Amino acid sequence: MNLPIVLFDDATWRDEFYPFSVNHSIADLRYGIYTQYERWEKLTGTKVYIQTIDYLSALYEPPTQPEAVFVAANVLPNMELINSLQQLSKQQGLIYAKEKIAYRGNLEEAKAYFNTNSISTSEKNIPFNGTLICINSAIDLLAKNAAIIASDFQFVIAKQQNNIIHPSNYVENTEAIHIASGATVKNVSLNAADGPIYIADNALIMEGSFLRGPIVVGKNSVVKMGSTIYGGTCIGNNCTVGGEVKNSIIMDFSNKAHHGYLGDSIIGNWCNIGAGASNSNIKNSGEQVTVWNDSLKKYSTPVQKCGVLMGDYTRIAINASINTATAIGIACNVFGAGLLPRHFPHFSFGIEKKYSIEQALKEIQQWKSFKNSSTTNQEIKVLQHIFEQLT
């Protein structure tokens, strides 16, 4: 493809990914084996760019050409879609399931195209008649994560070879297990009967752990002794995980290192969950639970199961009891007696107080130093902008 591909999320639907969209492009979120832009780059074999809202734009490299193929950042790629993108003419859009998913043109045209909900007869649109996975919200991501793992895994096994699985492991469905070079996996139960298991470079799965696919364990991550990891779970890069985890996404550099339950949840980057902390993922009444909608400032979107949606740089205290369908903003310190509130705004310190921006940045840098990293100037500016919007 001669024109660059730009993953576009400067659109109204990005608010449905709160709290993760506050300091990230949707294309920068890790689920399945890859982030979305990694997925697009691997499948196309070319450099892929990200176009997002103004205050986040400095985090991402802009395209060098004025004309590009802009693709909605919530659409997962496949070869059929890529072939259709190559056929687009200038100022032509692509429609799937009555939604606009791609446009060829310049940035201003793309913004106008994606932020107009109706599909005009004056637009030069063509339908996409294949099958796609489109992620419409954070809750939708949890529902589709297992299918995304399976889709990503098919691409991996087409490109790479499994290493030898150590004979001390209990294994079911070897063909659906990929253990990358440098990973250490011994005396572990690996059951891929219901979905694939992908273990990345230099990961360590300690003895006595039980993994039941579909599961991803990212680079340099550790699954501690005796852990129970159920299907639909993605553990990002440089994470430490223990206890019981089910149908959850843990993004890069985050820790849930101790006993406790995490289910039907998404944990952002650079988070920490203290020993014994657990979340509820279903109401005792069996009724549906509503999820916090930050753009509307109210609870909406009823679902049967939802654990916690936890933004970057947030920490949860030991033995905390996290309520069903809890939404926690970025840079929070979550603690308090009893069952905790279902919404913590950004920069919350406990239930009633708020961090100063200086103290929040100091603690973020301290946590990053534990993993030999530091906060960039661009990240600091984004955090300052978010903090200023609260005052």
Distance, CA of 360 to CA of 349 (rounded, Å): 10
**pLDDT in the model for residue 60:** 95
Q: Which of 257, 215, 169 is closest to 31 using CA atoms?
A: 215
**pLDDT in the model for residue 123:** 67
CA angle 157, 162, 165 (to 5 degrees): 140
Is residue 39 predicted with pLDDT exceeding 80?
A: yes
For 50-59, 101-110, 112-121, 135-144, which range has the lowest pLDDT when averaged over its residues?
112-121
Helix (H) or strand (E) holding 113, with range, is: helix 107-114
Helix (H) or strand (E) holding 349, with range, is: strand 348-349
Tokens of 391: 């005052």
Distance, CA of 376 to CA of 19 (rounded, Å): 20
Q: Which residues span the domain enclosing 64? A: 5-136
Q: Tokens 């206890």, residue?
A: 243
pLDDT tens-place string over residues 298-336: 998 899 999 999 999 999 999 999 999 999 999 999 999
Q: Which of 271, 219, 368 is closest to 279 using CA atoms?
A: 271
Helix (H) or strand (E) holding 317, with range, is: none
Whether 123 is covered by a domain: the verdict is yes
Whether 98 is covered by a domain: the verdict is yes
Q: How many domains does the chain have?
A: 1
23: domain CATH number is 3.90.550
**pLDDT in the model for residue 106:** 94
Q: What is the largest CA-CA distance in the chain?
A: 64
Whether 174 is covered by a domain: the verdict is no
Task: Note the pTM of the prediction, 2 decimals.
Answer: 0.95
Mean pLDDT of the chain: 94
